[in-house]
Amino acid sequence: MVKNVLSILDLTKEEFDEVISLAAELKRKRAAGVLEDILPKKTLGMIFEKSSTRTRISFDVGMYELGGHAIFLNPNEMQLGRGEEIRDTARVLSRYLSAIMIRSYLHSTIEEIAKYASIPVINGLSDKEHPCQILADVLAMKERFGDDLSKLRVAWVGDGNNVCNSLILAGAHTGFEITVSTPKGYEPDEEVLKTAAKHGIRVKYFENPIDAVKGADVIYTDTWISMGEEDEKEERLKAFKGFCVDDGLIAHANKDVVVMHCLPAHRGEEISDAVMEGEHSIIWDQAENRLHAQKALLVKLLK
> Is 173 annotated as catalytic?
no
Catalytic residue among 10, 54, 133, 294: 133
Identify whether the C-beta of residue 219 lies closer than 8 Å to the C-beta of residue 250: yes
DSSP state of 113: H
Catalytic residue among 107, 130, 153, 261: 130
Identify whether the C-beta of residue 176 lies closer than 8 Å to the C-beta of residue 240: no
How many angstroms separate the CA atoms of 67 and 59, rounded?
12
Angle at 268 between CA 263 and CA 274, to 5 degrees: 85
Catalytic residue among 164, 222, 236, 286: 222
Catalytic residue among 153, 173, 290, 292: 290
DSSP state of 21: H
DSSP state of 230: G
> Is 294 annotated as catalytic?
no
DSSP state of 178: E
> Is 88 annotated as catalytic?
no
> Is 252 annotated as catalytic?
no
> Is 290 annotated as catalytic?
yes
What single string gives the DSSP state of each residue in 35-96? ---SSTT-EEEEEESS--SHHHHHHHHHHHHTT-EEEEE-GGGSGGGGT--HHHHHHHHHHH
Catalytic residue among 262, 280, 292, 294: 262
> Is 286 annotated as catalytic?
no
Catalytic residue among 54, 103, 173, 292: 103
Residue count of the chain: 303
Q: Closest by alpha carbon to 121, among 93, 135, 101, 149?
A: 101
How many angstroms separate the CA atoms of 14 and 209, rounded?
33
Active site residues: 103, 130, 133, 222, 262, 290
